[in-house]
Structure formats: C-alpha cells, structure tokens
Amino acid sequence: MVDIGFTEAQQMFQREMQNFTQNELAPGAKERAKLDFITPEVIRKVADMGLLKLTTPTRYGGKAADSVTIGIAFEEVAKVDVSPLLLMLAHVTGPIMMDYGTEEVRQEWLPLMATGNKLCCFASTEPHCGSDAAAIKTRAVRDGESYIITGEKTSVGVGMQADVMFLTAKTDLEAGARGVTCFLMPLDLTGITRSPLAYMGCIPWGTASIIMDEVRIPAKYRLGEEGEGFYKVMSGFDLTRILAALMAIGLAESSFDEAVAYAKQRTAFGQPLAKFEGISLKLAEDATMIEAARLLCYQALQLRDKGIPHRKETAMAKWFSASSAVHVVHDALLTFGQVGYSDKYPIEQRLRDVIGLEMGDGTAEIMKTIIAREVFGKGF
C-alpha cells in the first residue's frame, strides 16, 4: 500500500506490527475466528505488545501513542486476526473515558487494564435504541454516596469476558441528551446478569446482553458530572469510528491480496483468471477503493493529532471504508468461486465479520447525516 506520510517512528512501528502479527497472531487465526471468546494466549500477546494501553497515560503504565500510530496497530492486526480487535478498541475507549474520572479510580483500574489483567467493555446500545444514544432508558438514581443503576445494555462487545464496563445511564429522564451520565461498573457486582448474543460474524468478540437490576455502585465511579455523558461519548467516537474503519480496511486488504494471488495461479480456458478483464478490472476497482479509504482514515487521524476538528472526516472515513470493505471482501470471495464460499479459506468468515463493521460505532446513514450537518450547518 502507498506511504501515507508516516513519520520514521510510525514506519518502524508498522514494521514491528507486521512482524508481530505474522509471527504471533497469524498461526491459528482462522480457527480462532470460529470461537466465541478471545483466547487467554491472544490476550497475553496483545497486552505484551502494548496494544491494550495505546491511549493510557504513561504514569499509569501506558504508551499514550499518537492517533496515527494507534490506527496502524488496528489496521495491521485486522489483516491477520479479528479476535482481539474489539478488546483493543474497548481499551482505547476506556482510558479516554477515565480522563473524566477521579484520580483514585484511575489508579485503581488503568494499570490493570493496560496489562490485560482486567478487561473492559463499552456499553451504550439498548434493545430499543442504538444510533439514538440519547434515548437510553437505563436509569441511575443517586442514593447517598452510591448510585443504583437499573436497565439493559445489548450488543456489548467483549461483554462476556470483561471485568469492568463503561456505560451510559440517565440521571435525568426528562433532559434528553443532557440527562445522560457515564459510569464505570465492575461486572462482579450483585444484580448483574450476562447473556451471550449469537451473531453471524465477529464471533470471538463474545457479544453480550447485560441486565442490571438495581446494581449499587459507589458514586466515585461516575465519570464526569451528571448530564455530561452524551457529549463525552460522542467526542470519543471521533477516534473509535476511524479505528473501526481501519479494522474493515484490514479485512479487505487481506482478502484482496489473496484474491490477486489466486487470480494469478488459477486457470480457466487455458489462461490465468487475472487475464480475464471481468476479474482484473473488478480487482482494479477494489484496489482503488482500498487506497481511497485508507487515505480518508489516516487524513482524519493526522488532523486529530494536530488538534484540528475532524468530525466530518471521521464520518466520511467510517461509512466509506466499511462499505468499500464489504464490497472488496465480497469480490474476493467471488474471485475464488465456490471454494471461497466454503470454510477452506478465511474469506467467508471475513465477509460476515466486515458486515458487522458497517453497523458498529455508527451506520452509514448516521455518518452521512453528520457529514451533511457539517457541510450545510446545523441550521439546515
């Protein structure tokens, strides 16, 4: 792929990630994609590589990497092994949310999360609302030095394995978005029930429904002030949506490379598939989509590192990358033909995985709405 203006340090990190993924994650990745959990071995490997502390401040044992470097990590892992990706995403989101917590809580949790000794997840979606994040019904009621939280979160990635959950809840039912507050909730508390959700793709992420029945948590686990949660979560999406886009691109890149290699060696009517324009021109389009999507993603990350607003660029990268990736992986499967539709190759699993990234962290429709708002202004 084309050099996107990475610094020398970022190029070095990219090479390190490629060596790591090929040597440590590639073996057994196809088999792990069928599991409904992240193996302890993979958790240990990504933690030892520092991939669970990319946004954790150094004083808590983290790396505090720049956004482009974080993006490189996600793209390279996605090329090889889908299983640790959402865990990595949760551990990028978690330290960002912890910026709004107390020093006591940061000291308690961030070092453990950075090393993978405690795993976290993020929960906003509820059975009746996803994109409409202000419509949540989970309720948090102040009771002295505690909050009592009742409600249900669904589509919680890593929810079956996580030790702690970042969640949104309503502290004021009548205030709309201004009634949403963020909390950190240890998942061993009384009143919590977890149930697995069987999804067609991204199986190792152990997606869960989590029910909270009058769960009491200390008030110190509130992140920020009451009513600030919606806006804190939305600001975090400006990073996580780009990372989700790069996850989709990574899946597309591997599938594309495999399709090109297969088209060169597979023959039909006495010549390689690559010599048929019906194949070669389709893959040429796919190469273009991958390059364009990567450019959008890394442009948005570079803007973030420079402190320049990038909400429009993030939304562009998210919908275009995920949509393009689905198209590319599907084309790769069709290039392989019936064998690509079987479980002999990982492409059929990647197609199911990448479809999930079209929805996660914001659908194409929501992303286009954000773009339109930025282009025309809120008045329109």
* CATH classification of the domain holding 81: 1.10.540.10
Q: Which of 83, 114, 145 marks a domain boundary?
A: 114
Q: Kindly report, residue by residue over 17-73, the tens digit of the pLDDT.
A: 999 999 999 999 999 999 999 999 999 999 999 999 999 999 999 999 999 999 999
Q: Which residues contact 80 (CB under 8 A, 6 or more apart)?
A: 21, 22, 25, 26, 29, 250, 254
Which DSSP string do the residues of 294-322 spell out, in sequence order?
HHHHHHHHHHHHTT---HHHHHHHHHHHH
- Residue 135: predicted pLDDT: 85
Distance separating alpha carbons of residues 18 and 318, to the nearest angstrom: 23
Domains identified in the chain, total number: 3
- Residue 232: predicted pLDDT: 85
Structure tokens at 47: 């933690």
- My answer on whether 220 and 124 are in the same domain is yes
- My answer on whether 219 and 258 are in the same domain is no
Q: Residue 141 belongs to what H/E stretch?
A: strand 139-143
Distance separating alpha carbons of residues 112 and 191, to the nearest angstrom: 24
- My answer on whether 190 and 251 are in the same domain is no
Q: Which residues contact 244 (CB under 8 A, 6 or more apart)?
A: 89, 318, 322, 357, 360, 361
For residue 370, being part of any structural domain is answered with yes
**Total Cβ atoms within 10 A of residue 270:** 6
- Residue 320: predicted pLDDT: 98
Q: Residue 186 belongs to what H/E stretch?
A: strand 180-186
- My answer on whether 109 and 136 are in the same domain is no
Structure tokens at 341: 């539709």
CB of 196 closer than 8 Å to CB of 36: yes
- Residue 378: predicted pLDDT: 80
For residue 172, being part of any structural domain is answered with yes
DSSP 205: G
- My answer on whether 244 and 351 are in the same domain is yes
- My answer on whether 372 and 237 are in the same domain is yes
- My answer on whether 213 and 170 are in the same domain is yes
- My answer on whether 217 and 287 are in the same domain is no
> At 144, which CATH number?
2.40.110.10
Distance separating alpha carbons of residues 340 and 198, to the nearest angstrom: 23
Strand 222-223 vs strand 180-186: parallel, antiparallel, or unpaired? antiparallel
Q: Which of 96, 114, 132 marks a domain boundary?
A: 114
- My answer on whether 237 and 367 are in the same domain is yes
CB of 44 closer than 8 Å to CB of 103: no
- Residue 267: predicted pLDDT: 95
Q: Which of 80, 98, 114 marks a domain boundary?
A: 114
DSSP three-state, residue 22: helix
Q: Residue 268 belongs to what H/E stretch?
A: strand 267-268
Q: What is the pTM of this model?
A: 0.95
For residue 1, being part of any structural domain is answered with no
For residue 2, being part of any structural domain is answered with no
Where the chain has pLDDT below 50, the residues are none
Q: Which domain holds residue 281?
A: 230-376
> At 314, which CATH number?
1.20.140.10
Distance separating alpha carbons of residues 169 and 150, to the nearest angstrom: 9
For residue 3, being part of any structural domain is answered with no
For residue 193, being part of any structural domain is answered with yes
- Residue 4: predicted pLDDT: 77
DSSP 176: G
DSSP three-state, residue 94: helix
Distance separating alpha carbons of residues 295 and 94, to the nearest angstrom: 27
Q: Kindly report, residue by residue over 251-307, the tens digit of the pLDDT.
A: 999 999 999 999 999 999 999 999 999 999 999 999 999 999 999 999 999 999 999
CB of 283 closer than 8 Å to CB of 260: yes
- My answer on whether 23 and 54 are in the same domain is yes
- Residue 3: predicted pLDDT: 62
